[in-house]
Amino acid sequence: VKYYMHKSTNWNILITGAAGFIGTSWVKMLIQKDIPFKSVIGTDVRQQTPINHPKYSFTHLDICDPDLSKFLRKYQITHVIH
């Protein structure tokens, strides 16, 4: 992950299941390793323990939602970690 992700800083990353163990671990890894990205958006149907970082936000979203494609366009998501 480290070598591949350092090639760009314009990524808007969507992490599905961000309230779970694996999703939370991904968010923390991206932040702690200071991997360059434009923004990270975590989504889940459950409530997440708050993670404070200026480039991170969390929203309640079910990936089965028919409006998912609108969400991806609105936030210009370039990568999805599912």
pLDDT tens readout for residues 41-53 = 898 898 877 888 8
Q: Is 80 helix (H, G, I), strand (E, B) or coil?
A: strand
Two structure tokens written together for 35: 């991997």
Its pTM stands at: 0.82
* Sheet with 56-60: strands ordered across: 56-60, 39-44, 12-16, 79-81
7 touches 31 (CB < 8 A): no
Instruction: Report which DSSP code applies to 47.
Output: P
Confidence of residue 15 (pLDDT cuts 50, 70, 90): very high
